[in-house]
Structure 1
Amino acid sequence: MKQITYIILAVMLLLCGGFGYERLMADRDTDMNRKGELSDIAESVTAIPLKPINGKSLTDAHDIQKDGNDLFLICQGILYRFNRQGELVCQITQPEEIKVAGYLVHSLKKQLIVLGNVDDIYYYTFDGELLFKKKLRKDFNEEQLLSAVLYKGKIYTAERVIEKDTLHRSCVKQQVQVYDTCFQPLESHPIVEVSLTHPVLFPNLQSVRLCVSPDSGEMYAYSAPYQPEHLLRDSLFIHQTGGKEDIEEGEIPLFPVCMGSRYWMAANQDAEKTEQRYLFCWDRFENQAWQLNEGFTDDFFQTGSVAKLEPMDLYGQTYSFTKFGKSLETSFPEAADSTVVFIVEMKA
């Protein structure tokens, strides 16, 4: 009889807890904003109009990183170094030698580790001097290498690998591979999806970025889902539980949001269909969220909507976006034919 009573009580607690959780989620949903301005989340925005190079304007700047007064970026497969005034300091790579796929900034050594040509790694000084290059033992094409970061003197890559299961069937998995700065392999860790409040039927594993939690200093992987409808619920759940109950030691958790010290963000602005594009942001201090199709409105420089905010650090504190053309005519008429880089510092 006592056992039956305990079972009934346990069921009632589960039902009440679930009901309370659903009510909490419903209450939190009312805080979802469908419109937002950049000043809602940004402490400051710095504009850097890029000067033309040999009379030619840069129209496609991406993979922007900063180091002190230096600004590095890729345009049409070439790596450039600018200063914070938008003046070209030097062209790092030569297009006939390498088409740049990505790069890492080694601040302590004042070096750039440049990836390109599938299995080639080039090492340059900040002044564009080629120190040496090496061939890797494996290819690094866009299907295999998902992202790479330099953290605490080591290179961490998110990679897609093909392995055999217990029945000797081929299966695709994601893992974090750790290298020294000469790309000698040190260790590897599987990337494992965290348990959420709902089943993830079609996880987005095409775009995986490595990040570091500003709270714990631990590395995690981030991949924005194709659809945003569960992101607020997932963020609240992860914030309350940590989201790592099923993650074992040595595994790298995969989260659906990039978790900054205050703002948690996710964006899928590369979707082919316009209606599937979104930018999600949750302010965990003020408990308000935004789910925006066209992004935040730039109320600092009046350049229109900011659909894409690209992380510039591992901690989700600094982002960048670029503008080109008509959106610059009001605030930057002299730079309307070139690109302006905007650096966003998030509110603390």
Structure 2
Amino acid sequence: MSVANSSFVRNTMLAAEPPPATERGITAWVRRNLLATPKDVVLTVIAVVLLAWVLPKMIDWLFIQAVWTGTDRTFCATTVQGGIQPDGWSGACWAFVNAKFDQFIFGRYPLDERWRPTLVGILFVLLLVPMLIPSVPRKGLNAILLFAVLPVFSFFMLYGGFGLEIVETPLWGGLMVTLVLSFVGIAVSLPVGIVLALGRRSQMPVIRIICVAFIEIIRGIPLITVLFMASVMLPLFLPTGWTVDKLLRALIGVAIFASAYMAEVIRGGLQAIPKGQFEGADSLGLGYWQKMRLIIMPQAIKLVIPGIVNTFIGMFKDTSLVTIIGMFDLLGIVKLNFSDANWATAVTPITGLVFAGFVFWLFCFGMSRYSGFMERHLDTGHKR
């Protein structure tokens, strides 16, 4: 007697079932991230208590009791509602920021010429945004326009050219100077840092010694010293009658300082590349610069994106040190306006500093978020 064998092969997969209700939604997120362990519970409770104590007072001072409009200090001397506070002063004096906003952005740049930095800012944004979006084509042309054409055009527009009135750099200030210093520092420090990092790893003793000496000397002194030397010491070595613009000195000082730190960040990425990558490139018959440009450097830069952005953020904030050489960036011009007798109140300084701090945070947070985006975009080891 024979028994017929039968088999069944499924040709369709079962539909995926939704996760349990306890594993999705806000409740699941809170349980997983805030209440997972007894330690997390204690820390969460402490954080909630601190926020409940701080946030209401902060919101009240920043927004509810704040003075938003006014023409002088008298508008910030009393509260909006409820008469005078015990200390005799109101909440935040945003009327001061509103009255001085143009100075905070442009410094002492002539009023009737401020369309020029505004135009430069618009062009900068129009060129920067496509550069930051990976899917936008023609990156090479975009980079040439952003890093080569725009700086030259901006110089003639801001300083004077094309028949425009000359505006001396001592009149520049505010956020405009902060962005100029930061952009030049970022644009110069990355390529110079790459060259210095490669020079430090060079097999040629002279090149290696020069790069090591440059990096260690610059990293061993604070930026304020570099700016002071560029402002005070440099003119002493120039021939009689020669001078160097203060803004140019600051640009050179910031770029040199950032390049030394960038070199060490890039060198860390180069050291993290496995030896097999170098050997594989050599086996293909690639020259030194081909090997670095096509194989090694793209991998090294991808590995150290957080360090690169961290250097950029630090440099952006350090631009406030140019105040010591007589230039007024955003923080400098805000502090300069504290001496205006028309706005001399107890809350004016803290309000101005809060405004400056928020602007710095906004730019730094933006760079940080973009860094995270690029890390995820370039992460070839995981699915996105």
Task: Answer 1 or 2: which has greater strand percent.
Answer: 1
Same fold per superposition (TM over 0.5): no
Q: Please say which structure displays the higher CA radius of gyration.
A: 2
> Normalising to structure 1: TM-score of the pair?
0.24
Task: Answer 1 or 2: which has greater helix percent.
Answer: 2
> Normalising to structure 2: TM-score of the pair?
0.22
